[in-house]
C-alpha cells in the first residue's frame, strides 16, 4: 500500500508522523457534499453506491487524508432488520421502535450481501477507485448504541426510554442485544470481504450507562462481536463517547485502538492502561469552529501531549466534524499533522 501510515500505527510500528483521518470527514461542511445532498435524500445517498463512493472520496481528494471511510450510517442495519428508518432535519428517527418482546421476535437477521447492503457495493467500488493508495475504513455502531436508537426512536441526550426498557425488560433486552450483535457480525464481516482494511465500531452512547450496567448489557456483546471478528485479521478501532468511567473495562477489549472523546487525557489513558493498545483522537470538534491559528496550536499540543506518539497514535477528533466547520480549518488540522514528518523521532 502506498500510504500505510494508519495500518502501521495500528500495528504499533514507528511512523514518521501521526496518520490522520476525521470522523464524519465526508459531510455537510463540504460544499461538494452539499451539492450532491441538494439532489438526493440522506438515506438515498447511503443506499446509492456510486454517490456514496463519490462522497467518501471528497475529503481524501481535498485534504489527502491517510484513510477513506465509506459513507454510510450506523442505523442501516436497524432498517435492514425490519425497522422503519427516516432522516429528518432533527436527525434519524425510527417510527416503529421496539417496545416489547413481541417486537423483538419480529426482527430478522438479514443476509449481509450487496442486495441487502449497498454499502458493500460502495466498498467494492472504493477499492477499485483508490487501489492501494490508502486504507479503506468500514464501520458500524456497537450493539448497545443501536439498542438505544431502536428502543428510543431518535437521538437523545439521556436515552431515558431506552434505559427504562433495559431495566424493565432485562431478559428481552438481552434478546435484542444478541440479535443486533449477530446482524452486526455478518455486516462487518462482509465489509472486510468487500475490501475494508480497518473497522471502526462506534459506541457513541456507551457513556450514558453506569459501569455496572455497562458490564451487564453492553460489554459482553461488544466483546463477543470483537472476538468473532478476530479471524478476519483486520485492526479494529473502538470509539466510545463520554466514557471515562468505563475505561478500565473498555481498555481490556482486544482492539487495535481506542478512539476517545476530548474529555479524556490521552497520555493519562496511556499511563493507566498501557501502551499495548493504540489511541485515536481526540480534539474537541468545536476547536475547528475557531480559526486556523487556534486549530494549529491545539492540534500540535494534542499530538505532543502523547509521549512517543510515533507508535500507536492516530490523530483525529473526539467526535465528528460539525456541519458549520470552515473547510480551511480542517485543512489546518490535517496540515499540522503532516508537518510532524519534519520532527525528530524519539521512541
Q: What's the pLDDT at 60?
A: 98
Q: From CA 247, how far away is CA 263, in angstroms rounded?
A: 12
Alpha-carbon torsion (49, 320, 274, 296), positive or negative: positive
Mean pLDDT of 27-34: 97
pLDDT tens-digit readout, 182-217: 999 999 999 999 999 999 999 999 999 999 999 999
pLDDT tens-digit readout, 50-85: 999 999 999 999 999 999 999 999 999 999 999 999
Q: From CA 186, how far away is CA 191, in angstroms rounded?
A: 9
For the structural domain made of 30-266, what CATH number should be given? 3.20.20.210
Q: Which residues contact 107 (CB under 8 A, 6 or more apart)?
A: 81, 82, 83, 98, 176, 179
Alpha-carbon torsion (88, 31, 259, 133), positive or negative: positive
Q: Which residues contact 83 (CB under 8 A, 6 or more apart)?
A: 94, 95, 96, 97, 98, 107, 150
Q: What's the pLDDT at 91?
A: 86
Mean pLDDT of 102-110: 97
Transcribe 154-218 into DSSP letters.
B--SS-HHHHHHHHH-HHHHHHHHHHHHHHHHHHHHHHHHHT-SEEEEEETTGGGS-HHHIIIII
Q: From CA 134, how far away is CA 73, in angstroms rounded?
A: 21
- Annotated catalytic residues are 24, 28, 37, 73, 149
Cell 496540515 belongs to residue? 335
Q: From CA 23, how far away is CA 69, in angstroms rounded?
A: 8
Transcribe 212-246 into DSSP letters.
HHIIIIIHHHHHHHHHHHGGG---EEEEESS-GGG
Cβ neighbours of 265 (radius 10 Å)? 15
pLDDT tens-digit readout, 131-171: 999 999 999 999 999 999 999 998 888 999 999 999 999 99
Mean of per-residue pLDDT scores for the chain: 96
Amino acid at each position: 500500500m502506498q500510504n500505510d501510515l494508519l495500518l502501521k500505527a495500528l500495528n504499533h510500528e514507528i511512523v514518521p508522523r501521526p496518520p490522520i483521518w476525521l470522523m464524519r470527514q465526508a459531510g455537510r461542511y463540504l460544499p461538494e457534499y452539499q451539492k450532491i445532498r441538494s439532489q438526493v435524500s440522506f438515506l438515498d445517498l447511503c443506499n446509492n453506491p456510486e454517490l456514496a463512493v463519490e462522497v467518501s472520496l471528497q475529503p481524501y481528494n481535498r485534504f489527502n487524508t491517510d484513510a477513506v471511510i465509506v459513507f454510510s450510517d450506523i442505523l442501516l442495519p436497524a432498517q435492514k432488520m425490519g425497522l422503519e428508518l427516516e432522516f429528518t432535519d432533527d436527525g434519524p428517527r425510527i417510527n416503529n421502535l421496539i417496545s416489547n418482546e413481541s417486537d423483538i421476535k419480529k426482527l430478522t437477521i438479514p443476509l449481509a450481501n450487496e442486495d441487502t447492503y449497498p454499502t458493500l457495493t460502495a466498498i467494492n467500488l472504493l477499492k477499485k477507485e483508490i487501489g492501494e493508495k490508502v486504507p479503506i475504513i468500514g464501520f458500524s455502531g456497537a450493539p448497545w448504541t443501536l439498542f438505544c436508537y431502536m428502543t428510543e426512536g431518535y437521538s437523545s441526550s439521556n436515552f431515558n426510554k431506552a434505559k427504562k426498557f433495559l431495566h424493565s425488560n432485562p431478559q428481552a433486552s438481552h434478546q435484542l442485544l444478541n440479535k443486533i450483535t449477530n446482524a452486526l457480525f455478518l455486516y462487518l464481516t462482509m465489509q472486510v470481504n468487500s475490501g475494508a482494511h480497518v473497522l471502526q465500531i462506534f459506541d457513541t452512547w456507551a457513556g450514558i450507562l453506569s459501569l455496572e450496567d455497562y458490564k451487564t448489557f453492553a460489554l459482553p456483546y461488544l466483546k463477543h462481536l470483537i472476538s468473532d471478528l478476530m479471524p478476519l485479521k483486520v485492526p479494529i478501532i473502538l470509539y466510545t463517547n463520554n466514557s471515562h468511567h468505563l475505561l478500565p473495562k473498555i481498555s481490556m477489549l482486544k482492539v487495535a485502538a481506542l478512539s476517545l472523546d476530548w474529555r479524556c487525557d490521552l497520555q493519562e489513558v496511556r499511563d493507566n492502561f498501557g501502551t499495548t493498545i493504540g489511541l485515536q483522537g481526540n480534539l474537541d470538534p468545536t476547536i475547528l469552529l475557531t480559526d486556523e491559528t487556534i486549530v494549529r496550536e491545539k492540534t500540535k499540543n494534542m499530538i505532543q501531549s502523547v509521549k512517543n506518539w510515533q507508535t500507536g497514535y492516530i490523530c483525529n477528533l473526539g467526535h465528528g466534524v460539525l456541519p458549520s466547520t470552515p473547510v480551511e480549518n480542517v485543512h489546518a488540522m490535517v496540515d499540522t499533522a503532516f508537518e510532524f514528518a519534519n520532527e525528530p523521532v524519539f521512541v
